[in-house]
Each structure stands twice: as C-alpha cells, then as structure tokens.
Amino acid sequence: MTIKDIVYIALFVALTAALGLMPPIAFAGGALPPITAQSLGVMLAGSVLGAKRGGYALLLFVALVAMGFPLLSGGRGGFGVLLGTSGGFILAWPICAAVIGHLVHKNANANIWVTGGMIAFGGILVMYTLGIPWMAVVGKLGLDKSLAIMVAYIPGDLVKVVLATVIARGLRRAYPNI
Amino acid sequence: MLDLYTPGTSMLHRMSPGPKMAALAIAATALFLQESLLVTALAVVAILALYRVANIPMKTALAQIRPLMWIFVIFFAVQWYFSGLTLAAYVVLRLAALILLASLVTLTTRASDMIDSMTRALRLFKPIGVNPDKVSLAISLALRFIPVLGRIATEVREAQKTRGLERSIIAVAMPLAIRAIKMADDVSDAIESRGYRS
Amino acid sequence: MIDLKNVSLSFGDHPVLHNISLSLSERRIAVIGANGSGKSSFARLLNGLALPTSGTVSVDGFDTKKQGKDVRGRVGFVFQNPDNQIVFPVVEEDLAFGMKNLGLDKATIATRTTEILERYDMQHLREHPAHLLSGGQKQLLAISGVLVMAPAYVVLDEPTTLLDLRNKRRIARVLNALDQTIIHVTHDLDQIADYDRVIVIDEGRVACDATPAKAIPFYQELMA
C-alpha cells in the first residue's frame, strides 16, 4: 500500500463522514434507519477506489464509529449505534464498497447504465440483504414488515446511485490514474 | 467537530484512552439494552456530573447536542404521537446520553493519544497483515480532511452561486470531488517530502 | 550543493523540462517563470518528488533516484497551499510528524517544537487545531514543520501566492532570516531583489541565470 493509497482511503473516510453532516431525514422516531447521504460515500469509495481501498476505507470508518467518533449522520457514534436497528446496514458498508469496487473496476469500460447497475447491486441489493434481517431481529419487526419499510428508502437510494455513477465516471476521466 | 479536545488536568483527562474507550463501549451498550426511562434519566444526570468532574462547562456539554436539537424535536414529536410521552422521553434522553458520553471521551482525549492506543491494540493484528502505523496515519488524515472538505464544499457552492448553479447537485459535487482528489495527491506529495516511509 | 546534469522531465509524451544542467550552491536562489513554464516541476526534482526522465539530480552527492531517503532528510519542501501540507489535526502533532519520520526521540521532538514555536511567536498555538489557524499562521506552521527536520536546503514552491501582503512580507522576513540554502519559486519579484541568484525558466528551459539586477528585467521583458 503506497502513501497515495493511504491518503485516498483517508479521503473517503472523511468524505463519508462529511456526507453525514447533511441533515438526515429520520422517521418513526429513530426506530428505523434514517435516510442519509452517507451511503453515497460507500458507493463512491467502491466505484472510485476499487475493492481493496474502498473496502478498507469503509472498514476504517466503521471502526472509528465503534470507537465512539460521532461520524454517523446526526452526530451519532459509539458502539451502541452498531447494535441498534440500523447497525446491520452500517456493518454492511465495507462489504458493499468492496463489492461495488470489484464489479466496477473489473468492468472499467462498461457503459454508464451498466456501471450504474453494478453500483445499485452493491449499494442497494447487497446492503439491504445484510441490513434488513438485522433490522427485523433487533427491532422485533419481522422480515415482512422490515421489507415493506425498506421500500420507502429505494427512491432515495436510486438518486444516490445516479450521483455516484456520474461522479465516479467524471473522476475517472479527470484522473485516469486514481 | 472532531477537534473537540479541551485541555485539562482532571481525572478523566489523565485516564489513558484504552480504558476510557472500553468504558464508553460498555456504557453505550448498556444504555442501548435497557429500556427504563428512569434509568436513562439517571444516566444523563450521571454523565453531566462527569462533565463537572472533567471541569468542562455545561455550555460545552450543551454545544455537543445543540446541532441535533431539531432531530430530537422530531423524534420526540413522532414518538409522542405514536407511542406516548414515556417512550418519547426515553428515546430522546437515550440519544442525548449516548452523544454526551461519546463527546466526553473526545473532549478529554487528544486525538493523537486515542490513535496511539488504537495503534497499540492493532499490533495484535500484525500477523494477519495489519500495519498499525499506516492505519494511524490514515485516521489522522481522515480527521483532518473532514473540516477541509466542508470548506471546499462552501467555496464551490459560492462559486456556482454566481453562475446560478448552486442548486444543481452535480455542479457542486463534481468540482468538489475533483478538488478533493487534487488535495489528496498534494497531501501524498507533502507526506513523502516530509520523510514518511511507506 | 544540488547538481542537475542534463536533466529532462516529461509526463507521458508531454515534455516539461529540457536538458537542464545547473549547480545550486548560493544561499538565496529564486526561480521565476510564467504559469506552466515548468518551474514547479523543477522544484519537485530537487527533493525527489519528481524523478528525471533522463539525466541525474544529486544532493550533496546523493542521487534522488537511488537515495531518496537521504535526499528527503536534506531537502525540505514547502508547498503553495499549507492546507495540503499540514498532515495532523493539532499544531504540535503536525510539527512532530516529520521528526518522528526522522526517528528522533521524544525529548528532542519536544525541545525542537518549543524552539520553533517560540521563534515564530506561536507558543500559544501549540495545542490549537491546525485548520482554525489564519492563512499566514498555516504557512508558518508548514514552514516550521519543515525546519524542525533541520534540512540543509529548503525548496519553496510559491509559498506566498495565497497570502495577503502583510503575510507575504512576514514569510519573506522568515525566509531571509534562515541559515539554510533556500530555493524559492515565486511570482513576487519584490521579495527577491537582494537574492544571490535568479533563475528564469521559460518553456522548460533555463532562459536566464544571473543576479536579480539582470534576471528580473530580463523576465519582465520576456513577459511583456
């Protein structure tokens, strides 16, 4: 790992944290995961940095949250949050970033729709697959209700997929050697 | 928001970061697992007492939760409507307690000390390929980048405002991303020129 | 002494510097040139941040290509934007970074930190968050971070470009008071009038290499 890799990893940790400073849209009294811009950081880390560096960036992010740094949206942090209803989604982030990075970098010449599809796969499908069962168990909700709730998040997540796709492709044109 | 350290000589300042972090993790978990309003309220009082012990003014304590006030209000209103006053008070107090507690650790621990103890803990993972020095460098850099990113975002938004583009997310996000990568490249050069061996 | 022998540099197939041969030993050397003339790349060659495509750059006999570590210990580098040079969140931690990389012990690090902060009247900022400093203070911190490593040479790439007049003058005074050899890339011609040597770079070549009295009028003519 070069100095540049370390700096890029740090940059995407900071970016994910900075996205958390945008006010989240919370509902159902915090019993449900709030809609935040932070998963955009997950999608960007993966699609820009690739599987290894993107995955490490989010792993470091989650470790810092667990250590008590208030990096999650709304200034949340600490071990407690990871045990809450949205814990599964947050713990899934490193995996999602790695999956996105793997797919996007393996198909670097794919057109914009395919890139978007791959980001959606890692950033929505994989994240929901890991986060929803966790929410169902921790929140005593049951899988069917959890699934129904998550439908409300899909439009917001699709917007983030579009943003991540456009930004990642733009960055790759501006800096082919990232 | 992360350069919270306020110099001091209290017991909490002198405690080494490892046990402090462990105490935070245990207390936060306990707070999350209990569901009593009374216990939560007592916890808030106890945490505020710890602020006194650390000689940190109540004003600073309040400043930690002020940015979240409106979220608290929404949480409180929604929970009150759906689940009644007790649960609403419980949810908001628990959130306040968690944030106050986590902030107390950051307020009384230098980032560098926290990172040093984490680096020490990470040595245990050396056999599986973790390099503690690199991890601690990445953490320091990440903490430094957060305010810088905020400032770049403001600058870009102002620049796009003059072109009437401040509402276009892409018109703000794209230059922001490009400047951030440029900054990262410059920072790598600076680290290299300051003799860091990778 | 820093020696450049037949140095050329290109990025991909884009040539930046052409066959430059120079010896730098004077105490105050300025490098001037238009934007894009290659003067920044020239500066970066001197401490091995950029490596020559052909030719050699050596510092006190150490080749930047083969002995990068020895070169970094001798040549400090100050960048245009201090925000990109300050690595750590707190002033004191940032000053310690370069010294830790040199392998200095804690006591020496503490002594040198105190010395430099006192020299520049910044003792009260020791535990201050670096990002809250003013522009001038940040650049002074960036320079201090380099000086505590006790380099023999200090290369500065437009260190005053982003500063207001008062801070430009303050940094100029700081530079003039240094014992080290400095190689100062700049657009501020009034700062270099009493330098020992001025090198004008134009389109990747040394267009003039003389005293300020000759080189500055030459440069002004060139830009007219």
| Residues B23 and B60 occupy one common structural domain | yes
**Confidence bin at C162 (pLDDT 50/70/90):** confident
Across the range B110-132, mean pLDDT stands at: 80
Residue A33 has pLDDT above 70, yes or no: no
Domain that holds residue B21: 11-109
Asked whether residue B198 is domain-assigned, the answer is no
Closest CA of chain B from A1, distance in Å: 8
* More reliable by pLDDT, B196 or C186: C186
User: Could you give the domains of chain A?
Assistant: 3-174 (1.10.1760.20)
Q: Provide the pLDDT for residue A4.
A: 94
**How many interchain CB pairs under 8 A, A with B?**
163
**Confidence bin at B1 (pLDDT 50/70/90):** very low
Query: What pLDDT, in 10s, does the model give residues B126-181?
Result: 888 888 888 888 988 998 888 888 888 888 888 888 887 766 778 888 888 999 99
* More reliable by pLDDT, B62 or A97: A97
Query: What pLDDT, in 10s, does the model give residues A130-161?
Result: 999 988 877 666 788 778 878 888 888 998 99
Helix (H, G, I), strand (E, B) or coil at B43: helix
Sign of CA dihedral C133, C135, C137, C141: positive
Q: What 8-state DSSP symbol labels residue A122?
A: I
Of A3, A79, A81, the CB nearest to B188: A3
Asked whether residue B117 is domain-assigned, the answer is no
A75–B181 C-beta distance less than 8 A = no
Q: Provide the pLDDT for residue A31.
A: 56
Torsion, CA C68, CA A3, CA B154, CA A174, rounded to 10: 90
Which residues neighbour B92 within 8 Å (Cβ) at sequence distance 6 or greater?
B72, B75, B76, B79
Count, residues in chain C = 224
Q: Provide the pLDDT for residue B132.
A: 86
B95–A1 C-beta distance less than 8 A = no
* More reliable by pLDDT, B87 or B183: B183
Residue type, B17: P
What distance in Å separates the CA atoms of residue A13 and residue B143, rounded to the nearest whole number?
Answer: 9
Residue A28 has pLDDT above 60, yes or no: no
Q: Provide the pLDDT for residue B149.
A: 87
* More reliable by pLDDT, B127 or B49: B49
Residue type, A82: L
User: Could you give the domains of chain C?
Assistant: 2-87+147-209 (3.40.50.300)
DSSP secondary structure letters along A19-79: HTTSPPB--GGGTSPPB-SHHHHHHHHHHHH-HHHHHHHHHHHHHHHHTT---BGGGB-SH
| Residues B75 and B16 occupy one common structural domain | yes
| Residues B34 and B75 occupy one common structural domain | yes
User: Quick check: A72 and A38 in contact, CB under 8 A?
Assistant: yes
B130-B135-B140 Cα angle (round to 5): 175
Low-confidence winner among A2-11, A63-72, A94-103, B11-20 (lowest mean pLDDT): A63-72
Count, residues in chain A = 178
Across the range A58-72, mean pLDDT stands at: 86
What distance in Å separates the CA atoms of residue C2 and residue A174, rounded to the nearest whole number?
Answer: 35
Residue C41 has pLDDT above 90, yes or no: yes
Asked whether residue B4 is domain-assigned, the answer is no
Q: Which two tokens stand for residue C68?
A: 């990068």
Query: What pLDDT, in 10s, does the model give residues C133-150?
Result: 999 999 999 999 999 999
| Residues B35 and B64 occupy one common structural domain | yes
Residue A104 has pLDDT above 60, yes or no: yes
Longest dimension (CA), chain B: 60
Q: Provide the pLDDT for residue C30.
A: 96
User: Quick check: C78 and C157 in contact, CB under 8 A?
Assistant: yes
Nearest CA in chain C to B179: C84
Residue B66 has pLDDT above 60, yes or no: yes
A29–B75 C-beta distance less than 8 A = yes
User: Quick check: C48 and C58 in contact, CB under 8 A?
Assistant: no
B180–A29 C-beta distance less than 8 A = no
CB-CB neighbours of C24 under 10 Å: 18
